[in-house]
A and B are shown apart, each in its own frame.
Chain A
Amino acid sequence: MDFDLSEEQSLLKDSVERLLADRYDFEARKRHGKHPEGFSPEMWRAYAEQGLLAVPFSEEEGGIGGGTIETMIVMEAFGGALVLEPYLSTVVLAGGLLRHAASAEQRAEWLPGLIGGETRYALAHGERQARYDLHDVGVQARRDGEGWVLEGEKALVLHGDSADRLIVSARTAGGRRDRDGIGLFLVEAGAEGVSRRGYPTQDGQRAAEVSLSSVRVGPEAVIGSPEGALPAIERVADEAIAALCAEAVGAMDRMHRLTVEYLKTRKQFGVTIGSFQVLQHRAADMFIALEQARSMSFLATMMAEADDPAERSRAVSGAKVQIGRSGRTVGQGAVQLHGGVGMTMEYSVGHYFKRVTMIDQLFGDADHHLARVARMGSLLAA
């Protein structure tokens, strides 16, 4: 039982925090968001140069051999700066699928570009009817000689408009909600038959609706078993949730600190408003919610690597519930205690609030995961 970071982990934390302190204050973030991609290509290169894109990949494949703890460190720092770049899409989601499902040959071909920052990825998995159900896949993949033809619509593809490549899930067999019969396909974003409609999201990031119309891919595009990709998707979704929990903790921590700072400086009735007990107690409630969220972020980080999928999912779902609930307490509290200024687009706190709110809506909200924990039985057995 040890909550301390190793020396390498501390170095990673220092280096990512320093980079963001230098180049990612709130004013810089506003500029980064004005690029057509919705984020800063220079920052993306900086992440590549610092090795952040290499974090979860093995050293033999050009990575730094980090685990979920290293990803947590990066994501927490990103949450604190409200980073816009597609790290979750490229490194955590697509990178996770490549790590868990792709062949050694595929990884040898694709990972250098990803780690080097030349190729950005997005995961095209969600669909209009699926909401949070990972097994609900209606996009069709039909065999065509050696290769496949993909047909259908993908929804809410995070950073799908700027990605160079898409990893597309599609049904190769069975009915729309069957667990078996789902495959993963690597599709060039510019391939014939792919059309994308990009749009901004509430938190200042971007997503896309992706339409696949007779998109042809070769056999080399299939990642893992063409009929058995769901376990890998579920595993990567759990890893993504753990990463988002860490990002949310980073955002909540910053939001809480901004609020406490505000309480210490804002004066009304001749005194700082932090001298009022009713506001102190609300700030204390926010602090408790933040620390409970941090605890569950640690649990998710640890359990995202668990061998037993049921144990892994139960813990990760529990963490997502806590993060969702804490996010509301901290986010709503931060805006409330800032008063009118917390409502303005110009000030940062509302942007943190919006990001933690959207994190709750991603990969299953608190209610979705609460129902999942309830179905899976006690979280406390151990």
Chain B
Amino acid sequence: MDLRFTPEERAFRQEVRGFFEQNLPKDIHAKMIDGRHPSKDDIVTWQKILNKQGWAVPNWPVEWGGTGWDPVRQYIFLDELQSFPAPSPLQFGVYMVGPVIAQFGNEAQKKHFLPRIANLDDWWCQGFSEPGSGSDLASLKTRAVRDGDHYVVNGQKTWTTLGQYADWIFCLVRTDATVKKQEGISFLLIDMKTPGITVRPIQTIDGGHEVNEVFFDDVRVPVENLVGQENKGWDYAKFLLGNERTNIARVGVSKQRLRRLRELAALERVGDAPILENPRFAEKLAALEIELKALEMTQLRVVAAERKREKGKPDPASSILKIKGSEIQQATTELLMEVVGPFALPYAPEDEGDEHGHNEPPVGPDWAAPVAPTYFNWRKISIYGGSNEIQKNIIAKAILGL
């Protein structure tokens, strides 16, 4: 038992950090530090830089561009990426559909799609959730009916994150309604330019436009865009969701948010003293840092155990990571609300991708604008990816045997 990183692992961390310092464009870095959204262009630019370095898709099989790093190095890379902070790769491609295609797709699909995902030539979005299928995902109703060389897709997907930019969507569709609900689902890749697709924005409580509804009206999808076998889509979805959970704690994100919180609490004064020197505040901050340290150790335990696990089988302990990770991320936004104080009030929605949207002078400190929107927006973290209550069901069943 040795809980320190090895000298090689520490050197790797330095190498990664050094690369970020040299190569992340300064304007994108500044945006990330402020907690503003990177634009589509920012994300694409950064992904292409990572791709040139060979770090676009570390988690993939080596033959398709993976780095072959062991789980500890994968963790260090993400930890550095998040805490630097640099934009995270578009997860729908790199962590979701990419690994599914690499594992279950045919050669033609791999050759066509995987390099384009790694270089973010195609922007992918996820078509899983439906208005009637949230936590009970397998109850989904969007159907695909075979018609010659095509599937004809009808139905509706929702909560489609950044779908407004998407070139492609991967969808779970019902191809057999006569069997058990998990056994009649297929995994389809659909070009967003296909006639019959309509994308409608959903505005979230922070005022932002991040998620969408996607409607399918007699959308014709070539059968070669089926991944794997018909009616086996639920297996691929479980594989995908298992991959999603390995990074769900977002420890690096919380580290960066707490560092930022500390800086801002040292700047912002109440009376004659910085907020940071208020013992009540300092103790809340310390309590959160302790929780995050514990979570980081738990994350490392899961990562270390992963070296011995069968690939694609998620550790049910990752449910702990989801629950604590989301609670801590949300708590950082609450504490930042305390730091910003009354200057949380002005409502100035950020126009995504429009660098020149802020013509009005800021009210209060110049970092105040994203604080309240982030507090509201981050309530989503305990909802998406399997709500925290679902995660507790998983712990109760898969770990405790209840």
Interface, chain A (partner B; CB < 8 A): 1-6, 9, 69, 260, 263-264, 274-275, 277, 279-281, 283-285, 287-288, 291-293, 295-296, 298-299, 302, 315, 318, 321-322, 370-371, 373-375, 378-380
Report Cα–Cα, A73/B161, bound state, in Å. 47
Report Cα–Cα, A121/B251, bound state, in Å. 44
Question: Does B52 touch A at the CB level, under 8 Å?
Answer: no
Report whether over half of chain A's contact residues are helix, strand or loop; otherwise say mixed: helix
Beta-carbon contacts of B262-298 to A below 8 Å, as 1s and 0s? 1000000000000000010011011101111111011
Among candidates A9, A274, A296, residue contacting B293 with C-beta atoms closer than 8 Å? A296
Given A280-B393, A281-B396, A1:B402 Cβ within 8 A: no
* Nearest-Cβ distance from residue A242 to partner chain B, whole angstroms: 13
Among candidates A260, A288, A298, residue contacting B320 with C-beta atoms closer than 8 Å? A288
Q: Which residues of A contact B291 (CB under 8 A)?
A: 292, 322
* B1:A9 contact, CB within 8 angstroms: yes
Q: Which residues of B contact A274 (CB under 8 A)?
A: 402
* B3:A299 contact, CB within 8 angstroms: yes
Given A264-B401, A264-B402, A295-B301, A379:B283 Cβ within 8 A: no
**Stretch of B4-12, B100-108, B182-190, B193-201 lying at the A interface:** B4-12
* B1:A283 contact, CB within 8 angstroms: no
* A291:B317 contact, CB within 8 angstroms: yes
Could you say which interface size class chain B belongs to? 35 or more
Residue of A with least CB distance to B392: A284
* Nearest-Cβ distance from residue A237 to partner chain B, whole angstroms: 19
Q: Which residues of A contact B294 (CB under 8 A)?
A: 292-293, 295-296, 299, 318, 322
Q: Which residues of A contact B317 (CB under 8 A)?
A: 291
Report Cα–Cα, A375/B72, bound state, in Å. 32
Report Cα–Cα, A254/B303, bound state, in Å. 25
Residue of A with least CB distance to B402: A274
Q: Which residues of B contact A322 (CB under 8 A)?
A: 290-291, 294
Q: Which residues of B contact A315 (CB under 8 A)?
A: 293
Given A260-B401, A284-B395, A373:B289 Cβ within 8 A: yes
Residue of B with least CB distance to A3: B304
Q: Which residues of A contact B397 (CB under 8 A)?
A: 280
* A379:B293 contact, CB within 8 angstroms: yes
Report Cα–Cα, A1/B292, bound state, in Å. 18
* A283:B2 contact, CB within 8 angstroms: no
> Which of A9, A285, A380 is the most central at the interface, judged by chain B CB atoms within 10 Å of its CB?
A380
* A291:B320 contact, CB within 8 angstroms: yes
Q: Which residues of B contact A373 (CB under 8 A)?
A: 286, 289-290
* Nearest-Cβ distance from residue B274 to partner chain A, whole angstroms: 13
* Nearest-Cβ distance from residue A181 to partner chain B, whole angstroms: 29
Beta-carbon contacts of B61-96 to A below 8 Å, as 1s and 0s? 000000000001000000000000000000000000
